[in-house]
Amino acid sequence: MKNSDAPLFDDIAQGPANGRAFWRETSDGVRIRLGFWPASKDTGQAGTVLLFPGRTEYVEKYGLIAAELANLGFATLSIDWRGQGLSDRADQDRLLGHVGHFSEYQLDVAAMMTLAEELDLPRPFILTGHSMGGCIGLRSLHEGLDVKGACFSAPMWGITIASALRPIAWGVSWALHQTPWKLMLTPGTARKTYVDIQPFEDNMLTTDPEMYALMQLQASARPELTLGGPTAGWLYAALRETTDLMKLQTPKTPCVTFLGTQERIVESEPIHELMGRWREGRLDLMQGCEHEVLMEAEPIRAQVYDAIHWLAHTEGSDRES
């Protein structure tokens, strides 16, 4: 059924007990999967984290994070964006990451918020967005997402492309994005998921070997969840969206953003620039960390949880944007 229970792979998620997954159909007819984990029964109801994953990611990747949040009193609702995880994908070649326009992701967000209301999840809601999820989340804030605060991890507010190649990337992706070649794999990327290709040494995701091993285990156990490189169409859509977002004024929502000093995947300059003018925002630089702060060692993850807790307890209404 279009709106029914979906698979949740508890064996690889390591999430809290009583987790569930749901199918939902978006307003444009795309079937997406959402995952929910409740807070621990031994804690009070601190609120709900709306977890916006990055590109290539899936619900189960954040099971361990949800377990740690549950012990702090937070429920977690996460999502497989269209084109990844178990959600509908744009092409028969499921390893190609594609979307025509980033506005499509806002339809996924709308379905997510509808489910949050149906489940009567505890408030306040705290948006937590990683990488591409940070890009989607920033747009959602501008469109009035009903949250009390936002916590971002290495948000994709700019894409790392060598200066000399940036005009070429714009030109080629623009030329292809309305043709059948829009589904062509972006040059320099692979059809395999990153953790299947890259050993732990010199990986760009995390400095923690245990968390990297968990990501590799998940990818090998459930390859149907994984995703390879982006298409030319996705690249053009991402370049357009990040450029447009940087032209807007910052939201009024209280915000904490985390950025590893070893960041090599998203562009750091737009993060510094945007957080520098975010009146209700704070940028925390994480020394020695790579792209995925929530996949670093436990003491580092704890700093993100502290920020989520602080956002949930700031004064003001649930809707600050």
For the stretch 263-296, pLDDT in tens is 999 999 999 999 999 999 999 999 999 999 999 9
For the domain 5-312, what is the CATH code?
3.40.50.1820
Task: Classify residue 59 as exposed, middle or buried by CB count within 10 Å of its CB (0-12, 13-18, 19+).
Answer: buried
In 3-state terms, what secondary structure has residue 313?
Answer: coil
Where do the domains of the chain lie?
Answer: 5-312
User: 7 - beta bridge partners?
Assistant: none
Give the pLDDT score at 320.
39
Closest CA to 82 of 129, 23, 134, 131: 23
What residues in the chain have per-residue pLDDT under 50? 1, 165, 317-321
Give the pLDDT score at 318.
44
At 38, phi and psi to the nearest 5?
Answer: -80, 165
Give the pLDDT score at 321.
35
Using CA atoms, how far apart are residues 118 and 107, in angstroms rounded to an integer? 17
Give the pLDDT score at 90.
86
